[in-house]
Structure 1
Amino acid sequence: METRKIYMDYAATTPIKKEVVEAMLPYLNEEFGNPSSVHSFGRSVKNAITEARATIAKAINAKPEDIFFTGGGSEADNMAIKGIAFAYKDKGNHIITSKIEHHAVLHACEYLEKHHGFEVTYLDVDEYGIVKMEDLKNAIKDTTILITVMYANNEIGSVQPIREIAQIAKEKKVFFHTDAVQALGNIEIDVQELGVDLMAITAHKIYGPKGIGALYMRKGIKLHPLIHGGAQERRKRAGTENVAGIMAFAKAVELATSNIDEHIKKTTQLRDKLINSVMERIPHTILNGHPTKRLSGNANFCFKFIEGEAILLSLDIVGIAGSSGSACTSGSLDPSHVLMAIGLPHEIAHGSLRLSIGDMTREEDIEYVVGHLEKIVERLRGMSPLYDKFMKGEKAHV
């Protein structure tokens, strides 16, 4: 079987599209002014940022003044969580989140607990990684000031009932933040319809550059800034703007949302082909996440009796790029906190593989990946004492 280069890790990051690079280039060359400068060089760039802000706002049905640019999704999450916590600490010190959040959310909450005396409730999820509404309602106290639950999980792809959560938060007069980093470009987002108060998004998951993101924040909310300095971003986020990144982000959002129906249809078909082929051809495999309420490009499996790291390395040798979970924790030897939260035992959670599909994925790529994966799993199980023991036990019961 020939060796090709197949990228199946779009959930970690995406290649930058040609149109996005073209949108950046003028702001790396001739349009180099500082947006805070009063002369024509600065004014020209400031006007461009204003247009970019309006483009991004329109894509999620927000107002331009509700969009605050950041250095990425993690900063936007931190800005929302710490910003609300410090701005409203006189009203309460309780935050609610889930056990399957991105570490940008979990570590921000842990920081507030450890260093600033906040109380955090980490909600359990069901076997598919979905927060239970009854648990959420029961967790709310008089001191609760913020609920933060991600829109779609970066590892297992499960999509949360965001409208319901937002409605519960509204009824209890609690702010609601959602990390929509994986959702943007993969789910149609309307912040007015959803009813969220704050939402984190980023460019590099939608074929834009790394290092640029944004926080949507509904008008009227106070926010304690993380970064102090100049008056940029309406005094919410100091620092000279990443102009080229902002222009690229706007173009990436425009492209991602203008053909979103076609994108969802294509990636859903390829995802289902991938999932069905793997589940049919490779025995003792578990599909992680909700079977239908999941991101269109996400497939996450656990292969019993073998290690995910060995699968990844073997796939890489034949030119296939996948992941064992979140790219932010790929250096960790611990099993995924998400897989543990959905109830998988330690030994099974270690055998995880996330394959994520994007705009450049083709049907023949799925065939190539499944063909190699089937052989890799068979070979690794052939060396596994756990699998040998299991097979001997099966034969003993025949």
Structure 2
Amino acid sequence: MIEESFIVREPLLDPKQRVIGFQFSWQQPDQNAEASTESLSALLEFVAVQLHDDDKGFLLGDSLLFLEAVPELLHAEGLKLLPAKNTVLILHKKYFADPDTLAAVTELRQLGYGICLRGAEVTTLERAYFAQITHLEVKLNASNFASQAKVYATLKQSTVRMVARNVLAWPDFDACSALGLDSFVGKLHLTPRPSTAPKTLNTSQTTILQLMEMVRKNADIQQLEAVVKRDATLAYKLLRYINSAGFGLRSEVQSLKHAVQMLGYSPLYRWLTLLLATASTSGYSPVLLETAIVRGRLAEILGQSKMSKSEAENLFVAGMFSLLDRLLGIPMEEVLSSIQLPEVVTEALISRGGTYGPFLALAEACELNSMLVGSLAESLKITPPDLNAAHMAALVWAKNVASVA
């Protein structure tokens, strides 16, 4: 299965739009089709290996990992590689009628694994189930919000977390948040919230853009430091990013001069791009920021074996800039007019063309159940196993970096 299929991730958001988990699945034309035991087993084994390190343990920190399961997988070897407190198996209600399955569920719960119940009607669910599950899938019905609120208010008194599915619009997400539900949002987080407030670059963002232009021109380090000194907070945040686990430095960077001496100008540029995305004074969506980091890093990893190091770093910048308009709340035309990017990066952003465009398009397609992934990967001569491994690596890297945002 792993030799021919592509992984899709869907973020789980808490009411504050923070990413608290992911569900992984194989890409397929019909999302409602029932996956085979073989495919579910292959997914569990692959994810478990990719997200486990013998020294570091689970590589996604405190994130929850949701995986669809069938009774045959409740004793899978791959589960032993995943920490119980971070792992939630999604199991349909129909399986709970079998005594052997129920015994396996009880054993997993005693070990600390989570169980998410699917296919249950909340209003008629027997209370006995609540001792066997940690999460309960629910479907929001906006036309019947008042009665749902009463039911969910009762459930809040239990330890079971409610998880909303198919949340397709921001008003629906807000309704779920008001009820205290966590939500799987599909591609909703890529859709900007409607706003009538005028958006402009603030002082910090203007300073960062100035620094990016200076770095692009290899300005003298003393000139860079003079600009950074205008905003002590920016300097502090920049050094935090550079020293984050995501960069893998052996010694701590103490100053901007030290950073340039150790890394050079090109890596510094990418961290300024990241800093620009988080410098909004009007607030930004944590899930959108994390998505931008994953997109940039995935595009970079995919390009590392195809081009030079500096070109691959440009792919990271292209990935970040592809969501910068939504992160900053301003049109892409204004973003691009604020700074001079390499022509190949601009071409990728505007038309997904040129050298970088296909890599950026592939990274984007991995965020959705897009049937374009296969053709894009084939055109770049990237195999499914390599793409899936890069996807997991980018997710781990982004989690480390986002944690210092």
| Structure with higher RCO (Cα < 8 A, 6+ apart) | 1
Q: TM-score when scaled to structure 1?
A: 0.26
